[in-house]
Amino acid sequence: MDPARFTRVDGTTWRVEPSGTMRVPVIIYADENLIQDMDDKVFEQAVNVARLPGIVQASYVMPDAHWGYGFPIGGVAAFDPDRGGVISAGGVGFDISCGVRTMLTGLSVADILPVQKQLADSLFHQIPAGVGSESAITLDAAEMDAMLAKGAHWAVARGWGEMRDLERIEEQGRMVGARPDCVSDRAKERQRREMGTLGSGNHYLEVQAVAEIFDTAVADAFGLAQDGVVVTIHCGSRGLGHQIGTEFLKEMVVTAKEVGIDLPDRELACAPIDSEVGQRYLGAMRAAINCALANREILGHYVRRVFAHFFPDNDLRLLFDVSHNTCKVERHLVDGKRRDLFVHRKGATRAFGPEHESLPAALRPVGQPVLIGGSMGTGSYVLVGETTSEAKAFSSACHGAGRALSRHAALKQWSGRKIVDDLASQGILIRSPSTRGVAEEAPGAYKDVGAVVAAAEHAGLARSVARLRPLICIKG
């Protein structure tokens, strides 16, 4: 993408002023190299988002942005229901509430290395992964609705998790306002055997070592220590979320036309927040968020079970669980007044700063953990939310390295088998049901995660706390 298409504000802030039917500017946070590596579609999509009714302040783009469906992945936009604001299924995405949880093991690298291979094999055996993977859990209609209404609370009540986890999960483990009755029978059927499964694509489970600490005080508050070992899980609402997105996108295209919304891109299908379709989508999307929260809680339980086999006295504690693809009602300061806004984060992470009322007491003095996934061979990062992030992008930050190449292009360039062997020689054990999937997710297909994190930090979106390096990766 040509940086000349933007007006440079500082080293990591760029603007596109409103023109034509744009209602607000576009603001992108990235350094010049990251922008040059983005495809032109990011510019086009961010400008199209700026044209939607009721958008507030700006159409924001995070440093890891790449082309997505409707919104760019790494896009953030807030809408005001009192000013004709809309809810967009494309602005949330198909993998609703895809997100990350990181668990502290209390173990060191020295503890893991003697059993690294056996641990990798056991995790791969115990965690269902891959396209169409199913678990031993089967939900009947009543249990499905209970799960969709209660999220991680439901999982804990069924013995797949721990009560203490709940305060460390975004929304305390349960998204209020979920309406299982707005989720179609088809979506529920797709999810009946998928609870506790990792999925495919960019979903993963990694055992990671703390390789570098940048902020000792916050790392201490988070429970991160040099050479300590954590487990990070990245997945979402599986088939249910995808089905909800598919169905409501079609419906919203019709609704938008009926209410006179001129869509700049059909993929930006949306409906007024207070419309009947908008309210049904919100109910279904919130149910999908609960599905994702329950799913990650179950996966965390499986991880605890495997670790207990190798380390009987081990106690895995949840650092935090945060989602990416959501729309949440949040109160933000705009033009000197607090307003309730519907904040879309498509491939972006909530990043509340210190003293935010929604954070658990133990984290409130320092801020929310912001978990940035890398790829199989590169590092991941733990950041902390900054108070400056609210004015910058409604308390949002990047969510990962972000793709630099499409899956198709990656397949042409890399062999999955060779990637597995190369990473093994570096001490990183990969287990996956699909060598094709490994090739599609090749580390080289992603941006430099260090550059993405540095841009986010420079822009005031979040601050670096620690860098993690992979030891074991279970790839979906």
Residues 6+ apart with CB under 8 A from 254: none
Q: Determine if residue 262 is labeled as part of a ligand binding site.
A: no
Give the single-character DSSP code of 364: T
Contact 73, 66 (CB under 8 A): yes
Q: Determine if residue 203 is labeled as part of a ligand binding site.
A: yes
- Other CB atoms within 10 A of residue 395 CB: 26
Residues 6+ apart with CB under 8 A from 288: 96, 97, 148, 183, 237, 240, 241, 244
Produce one character per residue of 351-390: b if its CB has 16 or more CB atoms within 10 Å, e if not: bbbbebeebeeebeebbbbbbbbbbbbbbbbbbbbbeebb
> Side chain identity at 451, as an amino acid letter?
A
Q: Determine if residue 319 is labeled as part of a ligand binding site.
A: no
Q: Determine if residue 33 is labeled as part of a ligand binding site.
A: no
Q: Determine if residue 408 is labeled as part of a ligand binding site.
A: no
Beta bridge partners, 233, equal 101, 205
Residues annotated as catalytic (active site), given as ranges: 399
Q: Determine if residue 476 is labeled as part of a ligand binding site.
A: no
Q: Determine if residue 292 is labeled as part of a ligand binding site.
A: no
CA 210-463-174 angle, to 5 degrees, is: 80
236: which 2 tokens?
């979402």
What are the CA-CA distances from residue 412 to residues 30, 41, 54, 406, 436 (Å)? 28, 22, 42, 10, 11
Q: Determine if residue 84 is labeled as part of a ligand binding site.
A: no
Produce one character per residue of 226-255: b if its CB has 16 or more CB atoms within 10 Å, e if not: eebbbbbbbbbbbbbbbbbbebbbeebbeb
Q: Determine if residue 199 is labeled as part of a ligand binding site.
A: no
Q: Determine if residue 125 is labeled as part of a ligand binding site.
A: no
Q: Determine if residue 150 is labeled as part of a ligand binding site.
A: no
Question: What DSSP letter does each residue of 124-174 carry, written as one string?
Answer: HHHS--STT---S----HHHHHHHHHHTHHHHHHTTSS-GGGGGGBGGGG-
SS (H, E, C) 75-90: EEEEECHHHCCEEEHH
Q: Determine if residue 48 is labeled as part of a ligand binding site.
A: no
Q: Determine if residue 373 is labeled as part of a ligand binding site.
A: yes
Question: What DSSP letter does each residue of 387-403 carry, written as one string?
Answer: TTHHHHHSSEEE-BS-B
Q: Determine if residue 332 is labeled as part of a ligand binding site.
A: no
The residue count of the chain comes to: 476
Q: Determine if residue 344 is labeled as part of a ligand binding site.
A: no
Q: Determine if residue 446 is labeled as part of a ligand binding site.
A: no
Q: Determine if residue 177 is labeled as part of a ligand binding site.
A: no
Q: Return phi, psi of residue 179, to 5°.
A: -130, 95
Q: In this structure, what is the dihedral angle of CA atoms 391, 397, 403, 407, given to the nearest 10 degrees?
A: -110
> Side chain identity at 279, as an amino acid letter?
Q
291: which 2 tokens?
């599905």
Annotated binding site: 95, 202-206, 234, 324-325, 373-376, 380, 399-402, 475
Annotated binding site for GMP: 202-206, 324-325, 373-376, 380, 399-402, 475
